[in-house]
Structure 1
Amino acid sequence: MTGRAARTKKRTRIQVGNEERILDAALAVFSRYGYRGGTIDQIAARAGMSKPNLLYYYRRKKDIYVAVLERTLTMWLAPLESLDAAGDPQEEVRRYVRRKLALSRSHPEASRLFLSEILQGAPLLRPKLEQELRAQVRRKAAVLQGWMDQGRLTPLDPVHLLFTIWATTQHYADFDSQIRAVLGRDAMTETMFETAEATILKLFFEGLGVEG
């Protein structure tokens, strides 16, 4: 995280809580107005703190924006990091798909803001993507490749398999409006997500040559 308080040797519970308040408020503001349209004043007001207090934690709007994106990326990396080479391949892939879909349901605004950054060429997030994300994808692709080499999954390109999982699961956050247009304004229900999960899992497991 890029805030000033985050660089102190020991952050208090209040500091951690304030940083999260700022990032939650910033997510709401940037999701509605975009990076250019959102202001520090709007973020401070939504976070319920003064502008000087906010600037203690984050000096510039850019710092806040990057911190929001990095928090989202960290949240998304956690399920992939938990892919365990010692686990059962079917269950590990199944758990990963479910966790990714659950994140799309619980954090749609974060997903759409992240998508906006990517569509612009990731100008502020590219270094982190080219380092942290690339390294993790290579490690976990090696895990998938190992299972494929053992005959426990159908041979596929493991990186493109991960891309496909991202595309199908994040679709439910990034294309929320399209889904509502097709299924109705109140479509994003628990039942709809259960149906989506069952469909995606069956698709992937049959494609991988295992029983769904």
Structure 2
Amino acid sequence: MNDQSGKGQTRIQKQNSRKIREAALDVFSAEGFRGATIDRIAAAAGMSKPNLLYYYATKEEIYRAVLDATLDNWLEPLRAIDPDGDAVSELRNYIRRKLEMARDFPRESRLYANEIIRGAPIITEELEDLRTLVNEKSEIIRGWIARGQMAEIDPRHLFFAIWAMTQHYADFDAQVRTVLDDSGDGRFNDAARAVETLVFSGLRPRP
């Protein structure tokens, strides 16, 4: 069938497609693209391999479907930065939303990180869209800088720093929990305060 859009599918077929993508997310985020197999995804989905192949013809097809959904979701906080907002409020909201995503979608974060580490062979075109979006939001930050709301900085490197600090809590979750001796959600509130202190101390306008 191979119809990821869901158009023309019955309710059961849509449920099975979602079940496959959910299982694939588990397998890909844990094993990476190379380590994942159709057999492992089918087993995780509780389906036979022939049944899975009715929905997705190849491992690459499943991976693309999962990765596309992940990337679209991952960029939403960046899209939400408001050009009419003030620097502190918008950046604080952005940091908070990125940490919420690290908390709520750790598998998606690891999947995306693994794809980038591989050299982004599947999402090369999507990274062009990311560059366009980052450039658009960078102009907002340059406007804040020009109005004296924050210190001079290359906005692209600011985004890199925020991504590194927030996504760390998903990609290196085992390390974070072990070092902090904390498996609760409180570590994300502490992380928000720490990241905001680092970012806003560095961005404070200089005389």
TM-score by length of 1: 0.86
Give, in whole Å, the separation in 2 of the partners of 1:96 and 1:16. 33
Note the 1:99-118 alignment, pairs <5 A. 99-118=97-116
**Could you tell me which amino acid in structure 1 is paired with residue 170 of structure 2?**
A
Give, in whole Å, the separation in 2 of the partners of 1:160 and 1:12. 46
Q: 1:128 to 1:92 in 2, by over 3 A?
A: same
Q: Is it true that 1:150 corresponds to 2:147 in the alignment?
A: yes
CA offset digits 1:9-35 (Å, max 9, x no partner): 556655544333221100111233332
Q: 1:99 to 1:11 in 2, by over 3 A?
A: farther
- Residue 200 (structure 2) aligns with: 205
Contact 2:2 2:57 in 1 (8 A): yes
- Residue 69 (structure 2) aligns with: 71
The range that moved more, 47-56 or 174-183, is 47-56
Match for residue 88 of structure 1 among 83, 86, 111: 86
CA RMSD across the alignment: 2.1
Note the 1:153-192 alignment, pairs <5 A. 153-184=150-181, 187-192=182-187
Unaligned runs of 5+ in 1: none
- Residue 194 (structure 1) aligns with: 189
Give the number of aligned pairs.
205
Q: Compute the displacement of 1:98 (Å).
A: 0.3
CA offset digits 1:157-185 (Å, max 9, x no partner): 1111111110000011111232233223x
Contact 1:5 1:57 in 2 (8 A): yes
TM-score by length of 2: 0.88
Give, in whole Å, the separation in 2 of the partners of 1:37 and 1:89. 42
- Residue 24 (structure 2) aligns with: 26
Give, in whole Å, the separation in 1 of the partners of 2:142 and 2:12. 44
Q: 1:134 to 1:179 in 2, by over 3 A?
A: same
* Dislocated runs of 4+, deviation >6 Å: none
Q: 1:145 to 1:56 in 2, by over 3 A?
A: farther
Unaligned runs of 5+ in 2: none
Give, in whole Å, the separation in 1 of the partners of 2:103 and 2:48. 32
**Could you tell me which amino acid in structure 2 is paired with residue 59 of structure 1?**
A
CA offset digits 1:96-133 (Å, max 9, x no partner): 1000011111111221222122112112222211x211
* Percent identity for Structure 1 against Structure 2: 49
Q: Compute the displacement of 1:85 (Å).
A: 0.2
Give, in whole Å, the separation in 1 of the partners of 2:97 and 2:14. 25
Q: 1:123 to 1:190 in 2, by over 3 A?
A: same
